[in-house]
Amino acid sequence: MAKLNIVKFGEEALRKVCRPVDEITPKIVRLLDDMIETMRAANGCGLAAPQVGILRRIAVIEVEEGEVYELINPKIIAYSGEQREVEGCLSNPGKWGVTKRPMAVTVRAMNRHGEEYELNGKGLLARAICHECDHLDGKLYTDVQIEAVDAD
């Protein structure tokens, strides 16, 4: 595994719509492993492929230690409720903003074995799913930010 470079706000890759993954190859599996290592090394709870300069529909999430979700070609298929919480991004270190997100979401995705599954998330997990799926469409949390929060 290798720690990848996280691209920062202002870099073009973060505003691109990512291409779907057509086949799970050893290269895709290695990318998932590297993304997990990179996310953990940066103390994040989610990381999308465009954040490491790869324009593919892949994200990883870990809001509870040891419980990693790999999302390949994710699509949010249901959402409900509302939450307004502070949110940040590994591509925008030291900056935070209050966002409005659904309280609960259901996402359909594939895992590293090409198996389709559905994941139901509430609270922080729902917010992380929305945040990472937005990255795959070239959207940033600042696009849904209600107000900036001082990092002090």
Domain regions of the chain by residue span: 12-149
Cα 36 from Cα 117, distance rounded (Å): 19
Q: Active-site residue among 64, 85, 132, 147?
A: 132
Q: Catalytic residue at 132?
A: yes
What average pLDDT is seen over the chain?
96
Residue appearing with tokens 């809001």: 63
The answer to whether the CB of 84 falls within 8 A of the CB of 100 is yes
pLDDT confidence band for 117 (50 / 70 / 90): very high
Name the pTM for this structure: 0.95
Amino acid at 100: K
- Rounded average pLDDT over 56-73: 97
Q: What are phi and psi of 9, to 5 degrees?
A: -50, 140
Give me the numbers of helices (H) and strands (E) for the chain, helices first please.
2, 8
Q: What is the pLDDT, as a whole number, of residue 145?
A: 85
- How far does Cα 89 stand from its chain's mean position? 9
Decide: residue 114, CB within 10 A, 0-12 exposed, 13-18 middle, 19+ buried. Answer: exposed
Pick the CATH number of 12-149 from 3.90.45.10, 3.30.750.24, 3.50.50.60, 2.30.130.10: 3.90.45.10
- Rounded average pLDDT over 35-63: 97
